[in-house]
Amino acid sequence: MARGLTFTAVGLTVLIALVLVHPTCWTTTAMVNHTCSASSCGNIHNISFPFRLTTDPENCGHFSYNLSCENNRTVLYSFGGKYDVQEISYNNYTIRIVDSGIQKNNYFSTPNYSLYRFNFSSQYWYGQYGYTTYQPKWTVPERYRELSRSLVWMSCEKPVNSPLYLDTSTCNYNNNSSSISDSKRYRYVTVGITNASQVDDSCQVEKMFLTSGPINNDDPNISCTDVHNELVYGFELSWLLGICGSYCPDDCYLDEANHVQCYICSTGG
């Protein structure tokens, strides 16, 4: 009995200590001031914090958000790939980029680089500056709003009868870059399928790309034109989580008006 009372007393002491140091959190509007003049390259006329051109002064922008100006085009290099910058939205804290292999009026063109959402999402969780494919929101249940979805090239041993699978033989895509050389296989493109359970048993994923384009998710039937338009539009990334430290002492998120709010935590003692 005494032994049980001793355990209970110790447990109660630990519980009280945890309560005393439990983080107390509140929100406040973020404030930030950066005085460097904006840069310009091609159709991107307002390159400012956190972005910078590689030719900008060292005190401007953040080096994790370097952009290059090549042949009057704004370029982002990431994960060994080269991407053309189509738009930077400082109201939404997003950047929209396109694989450099995609040409608007060339339906034979396909992306040069394979990429999927976790390539970007993992950067933040390991404490590195970078991009995410979602926006932090302070709403329930939509704590994070996804900005991009997957577009998948598949190679299958047998035909797949599904409106979600677009037969690329009906398109003008060049399959010479395929990692599976067996010409007898059937090749498809899908939009939005990322779970292994959704992949047909006879199929292998060859490449994955990101897109934020205009396909209607309520309509499962996709066309070659739809896929090309998705690739031409490119995909959006958020830089907000990567630079929260420049806006807030702790974490941050976007409110309903797309204003940055600081989520500040402290421990009591």
Look at residue 63 and tell me if it is in a domain: yes
Look at residue 30 and tell me if it is in a domain: no
Q: How many residues are recorded in the chain?
A: 269
Look at residue 27 and tell me if it is in a domain: no
Look at residue 238 and tell me if it is in a domain: yes
Structural domain range at position 166: 39-267
pLDDT of residue 41: 97
Asked, as a colleague might, if the bond just before 159 is cis with ω within 30 of 0, I would say no
Per-residue pLDDT tens over the stretch 28-46:
444 445 678 999 999 999 9
Residue 13 pLDDT more than 50?
no
Domain tally, the chain: 1
Residue 195 pLDDT more than 90?
no
Q: Which residue has the higher pLDDT, 68 or 222?
A: 68
pTM of the model: 0.77
Per-residue pLDDT tens over the stretch 71-83:
999 999 988 899 9
Please give the helix or strand (H or E) that residue 16 lies within, else none.
helix 2-21
Look at residue 98 and tell me if it is in a domain: yes
Look at residue 139 and tell me if it is in a domain: yes
State the amino acid at position 65 in one-letter form. Y
Confidence of residue 177 (pLDDT cuts 50, 70, 90): very low
Q: Which residues partner with 152 through β-bridges?
A: 190, 208
Please give the helix or strand (H or E) that residue 5 lies within, else none.
helix 2-21
Residue 239 pLDDT more than 60?
yes
Look at residue 82 and tell me if it is in a domain: yes
Look at residue 191 and tell me if it is in a domain: yes
CB-count exposure of residue 107 (10 Å: 0-12, 13-18, 19+): middle
Per-residue pLDDT tens over the stretch 84-143:
999 999 988 999 999 999 998 888 888 998 887 777 765 544 444 578 888 877 664 566
Give me the chain's average pLDDT, please: 77
Segments of 144-250 assigned E as strands: 144-146, 149-156, 166-167, 186-191, 203-211, 235-238
